[in-house]
Amino acid sequence: MTNTLPVEEGPLIEELAEDAAYLLRGGRLLERRRSAYQEIEVWDTPRFGRLFRLDGCLMSSERDEFHYHENLVHVAAVPHPCPRRALVIGGGDGGSAEELLKHPTIERVEIVELDAEVVDIARRHLPAVHRGALDDPRVRLTIADGLDYVRRYRPAEAGAFDLVVLDLTDPVGTARPLHEEAFFRACRELLAPGGAISLHLGSLTFQQAQVKGLVERLRAVFAIVRPFLAYVPLYGSLWGFAVASDVLDPLGIATDEIGLRIAARRIGSLQHYNGAIHHAQFAYPNHLRTLLA
């Protein structure tokens, strides 16, 4: 049941660790609901505009989503010579699909989202995140468990996707099995030759054990695993991402070539990603080299 509560105000506080938290002031609650899986909230805030939370965790906002979605998609998609088909597991806000559709070669984007109510919230409250991508004819939305979807994908369709984007919540609860080695192996079977998966790893300040474990599991499956770093303001931390593949190496493409591909594909409206940033984000500060090398 939907409750519209426009008068509720207060600070938004997310615990980052037992001894640390992130706080936003001046938020105004627009909607709160409990789905079969989680509590969903939409807030209007002075700093980030509209944002949504799942079980008290900040997910995406209309003013800074590009820090997350551009990195999650383009660091793998631009080095790919011709991405045509993509699978997004999670991503019910439509932000990853919107970035994928910027590539003119994209013919099909499959979104597999567990919670239909996330999609409903996004359609009504977050048009600045999905920008109509959820209704684009190249996009097909399936409400299903991503784990079941990948496991049950017909063998005849193995190698169906050039890109698999894991746009997931943290590896707890229903999302935990989607961060295990077995799931990564199942995703690998869906990749076309030269394909890659991309995902976020977590906070490099507050979740180092999680980041390390995910990188190790990816390296047990893929020949090439490239972690990279970006600061995501809404998450209050330097954030880890990764591209994994048996063939595609995001470091195997020159800075100038990144720029040429962005121009040739007429990818506009990029607020974060460019050729220089692409390579810079793979440079690790000394204190993280052991963790990520």
CB count, 10 Å around CB of 37?
Answer: 17
Instruction: Measure CA 213 to chain center.
Output: 18
Side by side, the strands of the sheet bearing 85-90 are 139-143, 108-113, 85-90, 161-167, 191-203, 237-245, 224-232
3-state secondary structure of 11: strand
DSSP string, 170-209: -SSGGGGGGGSHHHHHHHHHTEEEEEEEEEEEEETTT-HH
In angstroms, the CA 14 to CA 58 distance is: 7
Radius of gyration of the chain (CA): 18
Residue 223 exposed, middle or buried by CB count within 10 Å (0-12, 13-18, 19+): exposed
* Catalytic annotation, pick one of 167, 170, 246, 256: 167
Q: What are the φ and ψ backbone dihedral angles of 214, each rounded to 5 degrees?
A: -65, -40
The whole-angstrom separation of Cα 119 and Cα 97 is 12
Q: How many CB atoms lie within 10 A of CB 233?
A: 15
167 is catalytic: yes
Active site (catalytic) residues = 167
